A and B are shown apart, each in its own frame.
Chain A
């Protein structure tokens, strides 16, 4: 069997995702990408909402009913969290592009700041939607 192994099998494996706990910086980084992909979907939903508004009262009532529903409001909270996450991380990347904040302690601090900022955005949206009556 050993000689049947392909050349690919002998290549080094790293990091093995099933047994390797990703460090904080890696988690923040991959979730930034995930947030970007998810926000692209949110952009589609926003365009659909705009098109519904332009199409007339019936279409708008349906689209806005979904936004005002519990699931819609929870989605809006998630959108606020995702915008905070992607926006905060984007800002962090701009500092890196300028050559600032590259040390691991600095990157971990800014990573935590992004997490806190995203949570604050989500909580703020939740407060506005569920308490403020938007």
Chain B
């Protein structure tokens, strides 16, 4: 009994998953291009005027929103990319499980800390 191609890409193949990771990695990659480019410009503008200037500039609602979106997308993309690196180079089952858990935990933690910081600047 051979499975249909769709059956395999829908998660019934040897890795039990894959298409979602592949799609998400590329969607976040495309989104990262404008998100990070504009974020760098905003950071350049925010860097003038010391602490007061940075708080006033980054605390603007649209800047907070842009940074928040960038952070979430970048953390997600980083977690997906690090996952592939771990899957490729770490062969021990336990170490792989622990590292994958750690990467996801740190990505979520980073996003939450960044979002909390941004919201407090509003």
Contact = CB atoms under 8 A, between A and B. Distances in A.
Interface of A: 33, 36-37, 39-40, 43-44, 46-47, 50-51, 53-55, 57, 60-61, 64, 83, 87, 90-91, 93-94, 97, 128, 134
Contacts of A50: 58, 67, 113-114, 117-118
B55 interface: yes
27 contacts: A37-B81, A39-B78, A40-B78, A40-B81, A40-B82, A44-B106, A47-B71, A47-B113, A47-B114, A50-B118, A51-B113, A51-B114, A53-B51, A53-B55, A53-B117, A54-B116, A54-B117, A60-B51, A60-B54, A61-B51, A83-B36, A83-B40, A87-B32, A90-B29, A94-B29, A128-B44, A134-B44
Contacts of B74: 43
What's the dominant secondary structure at chain B's contact region? Answer: helix
Contacts of B106: 44
B110 interface: yes
A95 to B, nearest CB: 12
Residue of A50, A51, A83 with most partner-chain B CB within 10 A: A50
A54 B26 contact: no
Contacts of A54: 116-118, 120-121
B30 interface: yes
Interface string B83-122: 0010000000000000000000010001001101110110
Interface of B: 26, 29-30, 32-33, 36, 40, 44, 47, 50-51, 54-55, 58, 67, 71, 74-75, 78, 81-82, 85, 106, 110, 113-114, 116-118, 120-121
Contacts of B30: 94
A134 to B, nearest CB: 6
Given A50-B118, A53-B117, A54-B117, A37 B82 contact: yes
Given A90-B29, A128-B44, A44 B81 contact: no
Nearest to A59: B51
